[in-house]
Structure 1
Amino acid sequence: MDNVFLKYMRERVGKMDQTQFAVSEGPVITISREYGCPGKRIGEHLSHVLSDRLRREGADVKWRWLSKEILEESARELKLTPSLVKDLAEYKNRSFFENIALFFSEAYYPSDSKINNTIANFIHTAASEGNVVIVGRAAEAITKKFKKSFHVKLIAPLDWRAEEVCKNEGITLSEAKRECQEMDRRRAAFRAYFEKGVPDIQFYDAFFNCKEMCDDEIVEMMVVIAETRGFV
C-alpha cells in the first residue's frame, strides 16, 4: 500500500486534469513573449487602438488588456500572501523539500495544479467575455480553440533583450543575459503544464521580432489581422 504522505505529495504536484474547457466565441488576442520583449506595453497599446477604432465607428465596446490582474484575481481566490504571488509572477517552482516544509507548516498553501487551474479558469472566463488582450500566463494554450482568437509571440535576439533588461532594471549586461535565459526557462516550464506535450510553436499564429519592429508597427499589424478576422 502506498505511503499516505507520498500519495498526498503526488497529488499536490500532479499535472493538469484532462477536463476540456468549452469552446467559446471570444474575440481574444493573446500575447506571449520572450523575456525582455515589451509584452505589457504592446498589450496596453493594442487595447487602446482597438477601442478607439470601435469608438470612431460608433460602437459602444471597449477592449481591455490583462496581465497582472490574472495573478491578483487568482491569488485573491486562493488566499495567497504577497510573497507567494511574487513567486507566481516570477514563475518560480517549489522543490520537493519545499513542499514537505509547507506540508508541515501551519500556513495553508494550495497545490501547483490548483494554482495553475485557477489561473486557467480566470483566463478562460475573461476570454469568454470577449474583447480582451491577454498577456502571458499560457493564455495562447488555454484559448487556442476559441472561435475568434489570435495568438502572437514577441521574440528578439538574446543580446537585444539583455540590453533592454539591463536598461530597465539597472543590472549588468551579463546579469541581464542570465536573467533572460532563466525567465525563458521558467516560462517554458509553466506553458508545458498547459500544452500537454504539444510543440510550443503550434499555439501561435504570428511572431514579431521586437528588435526589427517598433511597438507601433507591431500593433498596426495586429490590428490589421484583427480587422481581417472580424474582431473589430
Structure 2
Amino acid sequence: MDKNYVITIGREFGSGGLEIGEKLGKILGIKCYDKELINMVAKDNGLDLDSVVKADEKKAHPLFNPGGHFAFSSSHNDLPAFGTFGNTYNDKMYIAEAEIIREVAEKESCIIVGRCADAILRDKNNLLKIFIQAPMTDRISRTAEKLNITPSAAEKEIKRIDKIRSSYYKYYTDDKWGGRLSKDFVINSSYLGIDGTVEFIKTIVDSRFK
C-alpha cells in the first residue's frame, strides 16, 4: 500500500474549496497544491508562465483539436512527455501537469485542489476524493466580498468559472464534474461552515489514514 496519502478537492467556484484545502493542509501538516502546480509546470518545461496560467484548467478549443478529447492514461509509463503529444498547447499542459501531480503524490502526502487530480490519481490506494459545493446564495455572497463586485456580477462570474471547470473535467476525464459516483464525499460547505468542514474532513482522514 502507498505510504503517502492524497486528498483531492474539486470545488464549485465560491464554495470555499481552496480555503478549506489550505486550512486542512495546515492542520494536517501537509502541503496544499493549487497554483503552485502552474509554476512547477512552467519551470520544469521551460514555458512562459503567463501562457501556462491562461491555459490552466481550460480545455483545448475544438477548432484546434479535430480529433476530439483524449482520455488520461491510467499508467504513468504510458503518459506522453510534454512536447511529444500531437495536440494543442492546452493538451500538452494537461499532460505535463498530470505528470507533476503523480510525482508529488508519490513523494509526499498532500492535498491537491482541482486539475482533475482525482481522475489522474484514481489508481492510488491512499486517495480521498472530495468535492465541495454550496448553495448559490452563499457562493454569491462569498464571491462578491472576495472580488469586491456586485452580487449580480458575482453570479455571472460563478456561472462562467463553473462552466469552464465542468467542461475541462469532462473533456479530460470523460466523467461528470462533481459527480457523486466518482467521489468519496460531496460536501456542502455551508452546512458546517468552512472551519467545520475542515474538521469534518480531518476526522475522515484520521479514521482512514492515521
TM-score by length of 2: 0.79
In the alignment, structure 1 residue 71 sits paired with structure 2 residue 38: yes
**Helix, strand or coil for the counterpart of 2:204?**
helix
- Residue matched to 1:119: 97
Look at both structures and tell me which one has the larger radius of gyration over its CA atoms. 1
Change (3 A) 1:112 1:169: same
In the alignment, structure 1 residue 205 sits paired with structure 2 residue 172: no
Determine the C-alpha separation between the residues in 2 that align with 1:194 and 1:177: 26
Count of residue correspondences: 189
Determine the C-alpha separation between the residues in 2 that align with 1:155 and 1:189: 17
Cα deviation for residue 201 of structure 1 reads: 2.8
Unaligned runs of 5+ in 1: 1-22, 52-62, 98-108
- Residue matched to 1:39: 17
Unaligned runs of 5+ in 2: 65-86
In the alignment, structure 1 residue 225 sits paired with structure 2 residue 204: yes
Question: What root-mean-square deviation, in Å, do the aligned CA atoms of Structure 1 and Structure 2 show?
Answer: 2.5
Instruction: For residues 112-148 of structure 1, give each alpha carbon's deviation from its aligned partner in whole angstroms, at most 9, with x where no partner exists.
Output: 2211111111111111123101111111111122111
**Helix, strand or coil for the counterpart of 2:192?**
coil
TM-score by length of 1: 0.72
Amino acid at match of 2:34: S
Cα deviation for residue 26 of structure 1 reads: 3.3
The question of whether the paired residues in 2 share the 8 Å contact of 1:71 and 1:88 is answered with no
In the alignment, structure 1 residue 156 sits paired with structure 2 residue 134: yes
- Residue matched to 2:107: 129
Which of 184, 188, 195 is 1:216 aligned to?
195
Cα deviation for residue 32 of structure 1 reads: 0.8
Change (3 A) 1:156 1:219: same
- Residue matched to 1:85: 52
Return 190-199 or 37-46, whichever deviates more: 190-199
Determine what percentage of the aligned residue pairs are the same residue.
Answer: 27
Amino acid at match of 1:224: T
- Residue matched to 1:191: 169
Change (3 A) 1:156 1:221: same
